Amino acid sequence: MKTLHHLVILVPLLASGTNAQAQHATERWRPRVETIIVRAAPPKNWRLALSASRLGTAFLVSASIPVPYSDLDFGKEPDVTEMGKRIHVAAQLVCEQLDKQYPPAQYPILEGYSGWDCAREAAKDGMEHVDMVLASLKH
Domain of 63? Answer: 35-138
Least trusted range by pLDDT, from 25-34, 46-55, 92-101: 46-55
What's the gap between Cα 47 and its chain centre?
21
Based on the fold, state whether residues 26 and 44 are members of the same structural domain: no
Based on the fold, state whether residues 85 and 25 are members of the same structural domain: no
Whole-number percent of the chain with pLDDT over 70: 63
- As beta bridge partners, residue 118 has none
State how many domains the chain has: 2
> Please, are residues 134 and 36 in contact by the beta-carbon 8 Å criterion?
no
Based on the fold, state whether residues 54 and 86 are members of the same structural domain: yes
Based on the fold, state whether residues 3 and 16 are members of the same structural domain: yes
Quote the CA–CA distance of 55 and 98 in Å, as a whole number: 23
Based on the fold, state whether residues 43 and 12 are members of the same structural domain: no
Name the H helices within the chain.
2-28, 77-101, 115-138
> Please, are residues 94 and 63 in contact by the beta-carbon 8 Å criterion?
yes
Based on the fold, state whether residues 56 and 2 are members of the same structural domain: no
> Please, are residues 40 and 64 in contact by the beta-carbon 8 Å criterion?
yes
Q: Quick check: pTM over 0.85?
A: no
- The predicted-structure confidence for 89-112, as pLDDT tens digits, reads as follows 999 999 999 889 888 888 777 777
